[in-house]
Amino acid sequence: MTAIAAETVAAPERTVFGHPRGLAVLAGTEFWDRVSFNGMQALLTLYLAGQLFTPGHIEKIVGFVRFRAVVEAVFGHLTTLGLATQIFGLYIGLAMFTPVFGGLIGDLWLGRKRGVILGALLMSAGHFCMAFDQSFLLAMLLLILGTGALRGNLLPQVGELYRPDDARRDTAFQLYYAMVNLGAFVAPLVTGALAQTFSWHVGFAFAGFGMLAGLVIYLAGQGQVVAVAPKPARAADRVRVPLTAADWRRVTALLALVPVAALFWIAQSQVWNTYNLWVRDHIQLHIGAFLVPVPWFQAIDGLSPFVCLPPMLMFWRWQAARGREPGQLTKVAIGCFIFAAGTLWLAAAGIAADADGRAPILFAVMFHLVSNLGWLYFAPTMVSLFARAAPAPAVATLVGVNMFSTALGSFASGRLGSLYETLPAPQFWALHAALVGAGGLIFLLIGWRFGAAYGITRSAKARP
């Protein structure tokens, strides 16, 4: 039995901008997934610290006393703010990692379509459960499981729209991720305005209806989501190819990169977490009589990649034309250093602060531009590095392992977030800058000393 079972369905003839119509369906579904997820992300820490975990609310959460005891047994005693940041870190970390298992369940049991439907329904139910204090823990569980089921089965369908030799595949993923960033831009604007104008619960409800809108788009467009690429065979029919000694060296080297990459994600995750509290406390939010909602700054984080990507790609092409484009490990190190510089910019906010201790709003805008340039150097390059350097029989597994660094960083950022209460803001952000900067130094060391020996070369073009 071969390792690949070929699809025989013909490719759709009708296209949108030269791509299968199914791409528009999947990208539209992903847009609403990101409206749902990023809308929730923009509100959560503010909501937990400002309302849910305050007296009169926290006592109502079903099962929370026992849950808090378990969390504090692992992370130590947590204040209200520390508890809020830690739970945010746990939520984001698990939501980033469960798609690995969601995709596996879709492969072996549910199938892609039912996996997406299940994920969308679970996420919608989770957002609606956020409307009640009592069901908060249930909401978290539903959202984490739903994110895993939906994302683990939606993204693979993009690749299945194209044959392996189709030159449009790379462009298709760029278009798909453009919708990811567009959703990340729109969501905080809407949910932040609703939460400030009406209530937190109205903002969460919008995220729930947004996910239902995505499900409607997905179901209505099923006739266009026609797979033409080969799909993996069932697990029982796969031919297991043993790894060689050289393969195992590469696996070991890639696994060693995970905790180093987590140093970057500690700082990045803090931008989704404690950063909202810092903006609330240290940025001048009034423009005339208008009070800018704090979640709107997360919208800048969604928009910044659009602004930073074109000049960065032009710069890389300029470097490549002169034979000076850095290798992948060097690029991720540069990403760490740029992000560290952005985080130090937050530490220096006091220099531009007014008499009330608040820096101008443009100070925060500049941070998002700088930090997202670092993200563009780091995050896509890490995925590419794992996909390139992993032995062929273990590519999918190791690309999934790369996601675990995001989860580790999120867990750690939640615990470090509690330091916001005890450290002055400059020291708090300087600590995070030091962590991500240390990650950059370690990546450089690995590339210079061990990369070639373990099959992870310094050259972006070299093959292991």
Q: What is the DSSP string of 394-430?
A: GHHHHHHHHHHHHHHHHHHHHHHHGGGGTS-HHHHHH
Residue 7: which region, alpha, beta or left (left: phi > 0; alpha: psi -120 to 50)?
Answer: beta
Model pLDDT for residues 445-458, shown as the tens digit of each residue = 888 876 555 555 54
Taking a C-beta distance cutoff of 8 angstroms, is the pair 98, 145 a contact?
yes
Look at 1-5, 354-358, 445-449 and tell me which has the smallest mean pLDDT: 1-5
> Are 190 and 34 a contacting pair, CB within 8 Å?
no
Question: How far is C-alpha 90 from the geometric centre of its chain's CA atoms?
Answer: 13
Question: Please, which residues bridge with residue 291 across strands?
Answer: 286
Instruction: Report the pLDDT averaged over residues 316-342.
Output: 90
Same domain, residue pair 364 and 458 = yes
State whether residue 281 is helix, strand or coil.
helix
User: Are 350 and 307 within one domain?
Assistant: yes
pLDDT in tens, 406-438: 999 999 999 999 999 999 999 999 999 999 999
Domain limit, last residue, from 172, 201, 234: 234
The Cα diameter of the chain in Å comes to 74
Q: What angle do CA 149, 31, 373 make, to 5 degrees?
A: 100
Instruction: Please check whether residues 142 and 218 belong to one and the same domain.
Output: yes
Q: Tell me which of 135-139, 183-187, 229-233, 457-461 is least confident.
A: 457-461
Structure-block tokens of residue 312: 């960065």
d(CA 451, CA 446): 6
The model's pTM is: 0.83
Residue whose structure tokens are 């919208």: 299
The answer to the question of residue 36 being in a domain is: yes
For strands 290-291 and 19-20, give the pairing: unpaired
The predicted structure's pLDDT at residue 462: 39
Confidence of residue 144 (pLDDT cuts 50, 70, 90): very high
Dihedral sign of CA atoms 23, 122, 184, 388 in order = negative
Q: Is residue 382 part of a domain?
A: yes
Same domain, 223 and 265: no
Residue 455 Ramachandran class (φ > 0 left, ψ -120 to 50 alpha, else beta): left
Residue 36's CATH number: 1.20.1250.20
Q: How many other CB atoms are found less than 10 A from the CB of residue 189?
A: 19
65-89 tens-digit pLDDT: 999 999 999 988 899 999 999 999 9
- Higher-pLDDT residue of 234, 93: 93
pLDDT at 5: 43
Identify the pLDDT of residue 9: 45
DSSP 224: G
Q: Are residues 221 and 251 in the same domain?
A: no
Please list, residue by residue across 3-22, b when 16 or more beta carbons sit within 10 angstroms of its beta carbon and e when fewer do: eeeeeeeebbeeeeeebbbb
Residue carrying structure tokens 């794992």: 386
**DSSP code at position 422:** T
Domain end among 234, 262, 280: 234
Percentage of residues in the chain having pLDDT higher than 90? 55
State the pLDDT at residue 458: 46
Answer whether residue 378 shows pLDDT above 80.
yes
Q: How far is CA 114 from CA 97, 143, 234, in A?
A: 20, 17, 17
Is residue 42 in a domain?
A: yes
Q: Is residue 91 part of a domain?
A: yes
Structural domain boundaries enclosing 134? 1-234
For residue 342, pLDDT over 70 is answered with yes
Run of H or E including 306: helix 296-321
Look at the chain and report how many structural domains it folds into.
2
pLDDT at 128 > cutoff 60 = yes
Residue 370 sits in the same domain as residue 443: yes
142 and 161 fall within a common domain: yes
| Distance separating alpha carbons of residues 446 and 258, to the nearest angstrom | 13
Q: What is d(CA 378, CA 363) in angstroms, rounded to the nearest whole number? A: 23
pLDDT score for 397: 74
Cβ neighbours of residue 69 under 8 Å, at least 6 residues apart? none
Of the two residues 450 and 35, the one the predictor is more confident about is: 35
**Main-chain phi, psi angles of 181, to 5 degrees:** -70, -35
Does 185 score more than 80 pLDDT? Answer: yes
Place of tokens 């449009």: 168
Query: Do 280 and 194 share a structural domain?
Result: no
Tell me, yes or no, whether 270 and 177 share the same domain: no
Average pLDDT score, the chain: 86
Domain membership of residue 239 (yes or no) is no
Q: For 94-109, what is the mean pLDDT?
A: 86
**Residue 7's pLDDT is what?**
40
Which pLDDT score, from 0 to 100, does residue 440 have?
Answer: 96
**Which residue from 296, 329, 249, 278 is spatially nearest to 432, judged by alpha carbons?**
278
223 with 251, same domain?
no
How many Cα atoms sit within 13 Å of 362 on the Cβ side?
Answer: 1
Of the candidates 289, 373, 359, which has an alpha carbon nearest to the alpha carbon of residue 331? 373
Of 189, 212, 234, which residue sits at a domain end? 234
In a domain, 192, yes or no: yes
Spatial distance between the Cα atoms of 51 and 54, rounded to a whole number of angstroms: 5
User: Is residue 359 very low, low, confident or very high in pLDDT (cuts 50, 70, 90)?
Assistant: very high
Q: Kindly state whether residues 146 and 165 are assigned to the same domain.
A: yes
Q: Is the pLDDT of residue 15 over 80?
A: no
**Sign of dihedral through CA atoms 429, 432, 436, 439?**
positive
316 plus 403 within the same structural domain: yes
